[in-house]
Structure 1
């Protein structure tokens, strides 16, 4: 009898339950976030991509059914080409069950996936097949009440050794951005 290692289960609901989602949506509305692209957050995502060398960077606000990338940086030339010669289009909205940011929000902790194929729970995620995502680094945007509003994250189509420096960088940038977002909302200014 030969041993076969377990394979990722495709289609299994692996997104964690998010009991704070209704309160988060209410808080995001009060802060004026998560409904439209924000040029300042696009600039933040661009800076984050340059800093980490990742092709994708996001400022992501998580709702009850969807995720919205208010800040988004995607490469001009997509790094993934399908067999039919097309490339996947990365938009500003994803279902809540796609990607890894919902895990970061529910856990309220940073998540480092140097190679998603090493983690059966994450290897079957739709972004792996649809966009070719192989590595991820994300940290929660925690407001002053401790609520996770969303995430700051980067991802790549190749495995990446983000290391401790990458983890510390993304956590510090997320903490700084969370303060700035609250301050801007209190002052009635865009982020």
Structure 2
């Protein structure tokens, strides 16, 4: 992919932990397909949207090849009106290519990322989610479990620029830590 006006490809960062992450996700029973427990992941995404006042939020597990929206919140009434909304329409549509969006960058960096207006950052402005999904603002943090593996991300996105600020950054990091506790509780239940 080539971002507008730069003439050079926008590359997804190299993920040196992909195989380790994929194995960990499989051991936890996450990231491949939805099951009954994923309703709690949707509920968590709803909570993220409420706390951040964002129209979209995602609990995203990322393996070597794709992203899986295990938890997804979209505004009522637009399920067919956008790519994120379309993903919410059915569980089968909850996958996204690994080179789309900003979560893979958060995952590899292992740090939260705030993009108040993605168009202000040439590195991110050319990402397909800008044109395909209308994403203009992103707030995300990695989900790093007790083993040190970054399993995915939790994020809030908007179709308009947002001044997330330091409060938004602190909030998304806190929500990520809270969700990791849910994963660890889930793991305890599978032993």
Query: What residue number does 1:7 align with?
Result: 5
Runs of 4+ in 1 over 3 A off after TM superposition: none
Matched, 1:171 2:169: no
Question: In structure 2, what is the Cα distance between the partners aligned to 1:73 and 1:172?
Answer: 18
Residue 170 of structure 1: CA displacement? Answer: 0.6
Q: Which structure has the bigger radius of gyration?
A: 1
TM-score, length-normalised on structure 1? 0.87
Residue 7 of structure 1: CA displacement? Answer: 2.4
Residue 51 of structure 1: CA displacement? Answer: 1.2
Structure having the higher helix fraction is 2
Quick check: 1:9–1:124 contact (8 Å CA) kept in 2?
Answer: no
Residue 151 of structure 2 aligns to a residue whose secondary structure is: strand
Aligned residue-pair number: 178
In structure 2, relative to structure 1, the CA distance for the partners of 1:69 and 1:128 (3 Å cut) is: same
What is the RMSD computed on CA atoms of the aligned residues? 1.9
| Structure 1: gaps (5+ residues) | 1-5
Quick check: 1:21–1:63 contact (8 Å CA) kept in 2?
Answer: yes
Residue 87 of structure 1: CA displacement? Answer: 4.0
Residue 154 of structure 2 aligns to a residue whose secondary structure is: strand
Matched, 1:32 2:29: yes
TM-score, length-normalised on structure 2? 0.87
Question: In structure 1, what is the Cα distance between the partners aligned to 2:141 and 2:56?
Answer: 15
Question: In structure 2, what is the Cα distance between the partners aligned to 1:20 and 1:187?
Answer: 26
Query: What residue number does 2:14 align with?
Result: 17
Residue 183 of structure 1: CA displacement? Answer: 2.3
